[in-house]
Amino acid sequence: MVVADVVEAISFNQNKIIPVSARLNNWNGVDNVCLGAPAVIGNVGVVKSWEVELTPAEKEKLQKSAEIIRQYL
């Protein structure tokens, strides 16, 4: 069903917010790494990352996760 949602959002340029894994660029302090995050999906794929306000503790955990993923790239 998730794949159908993504295909529909792209096919019909819905600009729908869907959680997907995409390369993040300065999203809550995370840059140049692919992580699951909410994104606006339209006819070009990811139109933009959806901004989510995180607490300082959440941002710290997110950044640690991004660093762990970078170690495997």
pLDDT band at 35 (very low <50, low <70, confident <90, very high): very high
What's the predicted TM-score (pTM) here? 0.85
Per-residue pLDDT at 62 exceeds 90: yes
Query: How much is the CA Rg of the chain, to the nearest whole Å?
Result: 13
Asked if residues 38 and 50 have their Cβ atoms less than 8 Å apart, the reply is: yes
Q: What is the mean pLDDT of residues 31-53?
A: 95
Q: Which of these, 49, 2, 59, 52, lies nearest to 22 by C-alpha position?
A: 49
Return the pLDDT at 73.
Answer: 83
Per-residue pLDDT at 65 exceeds 90: yes
pLDDT band at 56 (very low <50, low <70, confident <90, very high): very high
